[in-house]
């Protein structure tokens, strides 16, 4: 799936694209003009499914994974030597880009998905470089979202529950009752309890950080709307916003709470999407946190608005003097980078020290980025996915993703492997959890490039977080599969597990 570095297959685009170079007035009136274009002009040769026709199917996942968007676009634009595929100069760059996206998106729609496996414990997984056994260390969780470890080895887990959100402690393999006194959490569509992070100097100060969706203070939702939200339904029900707090644990109770980020009331919105909200500490003790665009892409380009950004603050929420926009008039001083849609994963490269990020795209175009101080990542102006109002896939002065995914992968939590327990993965492997496709993916990293990718598994559920524990093992927060073919709606709270990957020599 790596676009810039993939090897090129010998398969050509075939003869079916010869007829594409036509005007599109009728197709443009269709609900999906690109699909209509393909069906009307290509399906006669290539068919509309994986079987193909007189020419090979253009939805072949193996072929698409082995070539690049640039080569597909070049074949459409310039033709393919020694085949009937002639140059199609009359198509605009946007039409060519949309057609390329359609091939990749439809390949995901058509492929057969593996059956969901409910029982994870003891499952054997073989990757290219390492075999592991999956070991369940906590079960009977309600949509686990984030994992963090205390210095004594206790595990903290956040849950997005039907009634709100909880913080749980796993101690010596035992899941303790929910921590008392945590903030009231709003659940609606993407909203709920999010990430948990432990202060690097926890042994000295005891601080634990939580992010969650907060209902607008003082707002009382109608009874029907509150019930709908508690059942995990989408739709506009109540104004909410990402909030970040820190507190301490004392006798399984949350105490000494302080706000790190609390939005002004004007930013609370009834849109239930794109809260972002991954937390990570930097090597100098700063807290980085992500906030999604909350469903309004223009927010991501507005420096006076904190939404669609990655932020950097001191551990108490104050602003570091060397942040990139501290002296920019009207800019939110905590902003570290901008132009983000819905950032869901943050991890530090143990070799280069770079900050890597995962981000949900629109209908496709999910991203893996390297986050640089003050950089613009394009959302609201350019995207590798498809979004009404955006016609550009790249823009000068804005950072393209290192890799992107079409069809969607919905990348979530990420972690580099630094442990000696996995010598073949150590320091060069970035693990990326995925909500779509029940997948865990491994990216091989060399400097600022992804040189290879593999799917570790794709049948055990939605992988929300990936963390390397103090014992050197990789831990995963996995939720039951949702959506079509399951008992659960796509965004509903579901049963979940914490799983440890135990290497097999």
Q: What is the 3 state secondary structure string of 232-253?
A: CCCCCCCCEEEEEEEEEECCCE
What pLDDT does 497 receive? 96
Specify the 3-state DSSP secondary structure of 43.
helix
pLDDT higher at 370 or 117: 370
Task: Measure CA of the first residue to CA of the last residue in the chain; give whole Å.
Answer: 29
Partners of residue 170 on adjacent β-strands:
155, 175
What pLDDT does 282 receive? 98
The owner of tokens 């290219």 is 128
Structure tokens at 501: 């990957």
Share of the chain above pLDDT 70, in %: 86
Which CATH architecture does the domain made up of 16-110 adopt?
Orthogonal Bundle (1.10)
Pick from 18-27, 178-187, 345-354: least confident: 18-27
Domain ranges of the chain: 16-110, 124-504
pLDDT tens, 64-77? Answer: 878 888 888 888 88
Rounded mean pLDDT of 138-163?
Answer: 95
Query: Strand 335-338's sheet: what is its strand order?
Result: 279-281, 287-291, 309-313, 335-338
127: left (phi over 0), alpha (psi -120 to 50) or beta: beta
Q: Is 457 exposed, middle or buried (0-12, 13-18, 19+ CB in 10 A)?
A: buried
What pLDDT does 99 receive? 81
> Which is it for strands 279-281 and 124-126: parallel, antiparallel or unpaired?
unpaired
Q: Say yes or no to pLDDT of 474 above 60.
A: yes
Structure tokens at 132: 């592991």
**Distance from C-alpha of 344 to C-alpha of 411, rounded to nearest angstrom:** 7
Q: Are 398 and 419 in contact (CB under 8 A)?
A: no
Helix axes 93-110, 69-78, angle to 10 degrees: 130
**Distance from C-alpha of 334 to C-alpha of 190, rounded to nearest angstrom:** 24
Share of the chain above pLDDT 90, in %: 65
Pick from 12-16, 174-178, 384-388, 469-473: least confident: 12-16
Cβ-based neighbour number of residue 172 at 10 Å: 7
The owner of tokens 């069809």 is 407
274 is catalytic: yes
**Distance from C-alpha of 377 to C-alpha of 332, rounded to nearest angstrom:** 17
pTM of the full structure? 0.85
Q: Say yes or no to pLDDT of 234 above 50.
A: no
Instruction: Give the angle subtended at the CA of 72 by the CAs of 68 and 78, to the nearest 5°.
Output: 135
> Which is it for strands 193-198 and 208-215: parallel, antiparallel or unpaired?
antiparallel
Structure tokens at 31: 């609900």
Say which DSSP state 420 is in: T
Partners of residue 243 on adjacent β-strands:
212, 262
Average pLDDT, the chain: 87
What pLDDT does 231 receive? 39
Partners of residue 443 on adjacent β-strands:
430, 453
**Of the listed 46, 186, 199, 274, which one is catalytic?**
274
Partners of residue 193 on adjacent β-strands:
212
pLDDT higher at 426 or 51: 426
Specify the 3-state DSSP secondary structure of 98.
helix
Strands (E), 263-410: 279-281, 287-291, 309-313, 335-338, 343-348, 355-359, 366-371, 403-405
**Distance from C-alpha of 427 to C-alpha of 472, rounded to nearest angstrom:** 13
- Closest C-alpha among 342, 213, 190 to residue 273: 190
pLDDT band at 53 (very low <50, low <70, confident <90, very high): low
Q: Are 103 and 69 in contact (CB under 8 A)?
A: no
Q: Are 499 and 120 in contact (CB under 8 A)?
A: yes
What pLDDT does 101 receive? 79
Pick from 1-5, 34-38, 351-355: least confident: 1-5
Specify the 3-state DSSP secondary structure of 309.
strand
Which CATH architecture does the domain made up of 124-504 adopt?
6 Propeller (2.120)
What pLDDT does 192 receive? 94
Kindly state the helix (H) or strand (E) to which residue 111 belongs, with its residue range.
none
């Amino acid at each position: 799936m790596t676009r810039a570095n993939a090897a090129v297959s010998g398969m050509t685009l075939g003869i079916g694209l010869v007829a594409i170079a036509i005007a599109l007035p009728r197709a443009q009136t269709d609900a999906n003009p690109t699909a209509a274009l393909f069906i009307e002009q290509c399906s006669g040769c290539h068919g509309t499914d994986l079987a193909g026709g007189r020419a090979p199917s253009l939805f072949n996942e193996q072929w698409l994974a082995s070539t690049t968007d640039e080569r597909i676009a070049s074949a459409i634009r310039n033709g393919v030597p020694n085949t009937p595929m002639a140059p199609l100069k009359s198509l605009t760059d946007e039409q060519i880009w949309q057609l390329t996206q359609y091939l990749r998106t439809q390949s995901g729609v058509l492929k057969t998905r593996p059956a969901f496996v409910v029982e994870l414990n003891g499952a054997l997984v073989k990757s290219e470089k390492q075999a592991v056994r999956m070991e369940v260390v906590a079960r009977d969780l309600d949509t686990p979202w984030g994992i963090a470890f205390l210095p004594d080895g206790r595990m903290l887990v956040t849950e997005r529950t039907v009634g709100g959100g909880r913080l749980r402690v796993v101690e010596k393999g035992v899941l303790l009752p929910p921590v008392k006194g945590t903030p009231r959490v709003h659940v609606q569509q993407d909203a709920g309890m999010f990430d948990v992070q432990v202060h690097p100097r926890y042994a000295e100060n005891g601080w634990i950080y939580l992010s969650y969706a907060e209902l607008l203070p003082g707002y009382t939702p109608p009874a029907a709307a509150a019930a709908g939200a508690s059942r995990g339904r989408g739709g506009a029900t109540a104004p909410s916003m990402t909030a970040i707090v820190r507190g301490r644990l004392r006798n399984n109770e949350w105490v000494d709470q302080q706000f790190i980020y609390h939005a002004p009331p004007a930013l609370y919105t009834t849109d239930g999407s794109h809260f972002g909200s991954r937390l990570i500490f930097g090597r100098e003790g700063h807290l980085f946190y992500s906030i999604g665009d909350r469903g309004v892409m223009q927010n991501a380009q507005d420096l006076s608005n904190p939404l669609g950004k990655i932020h950097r603050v001191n551990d108490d929420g104050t602003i570091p003097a060397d942040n990139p926009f501290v002296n920019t008039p009207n800019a939110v001083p905590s902003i570290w980078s901008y132009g983000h849609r819905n950032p869901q994963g943050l991890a530090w490269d143990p070799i280069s020290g770079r900050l890597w990020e995962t981000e949900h795209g629109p209908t496709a175009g999910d991203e893996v980025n390297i986050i640089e101080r003050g950089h613009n990542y394009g959302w609201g102006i350019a995207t590798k996915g498809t979004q009404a109002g955006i016609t550009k896939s790249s823009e000068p002065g804005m950072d393209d993703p290192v890799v992107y995914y079409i069809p969607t992968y919905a990348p979530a939590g990420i972690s580099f492997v630094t442990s000696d327990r996995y010598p073949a993965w150590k320091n060069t492997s970035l693990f990326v959890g995925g909500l779509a496709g029940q997948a865990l993916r491994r990216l091989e990293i060399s400097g600022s490039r992804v040189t290879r990718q593999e799917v570790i598994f794709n049948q055990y559920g939605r992988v929300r977080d990936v963390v390397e524990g103090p014992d050197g093992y990789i831990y995963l927060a996995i939720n039951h599969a949702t959506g079509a073919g399951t008992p659960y709606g796509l965004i509903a709270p579901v049963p979940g597990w914490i799983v440890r990957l135990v290497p097999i020599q």
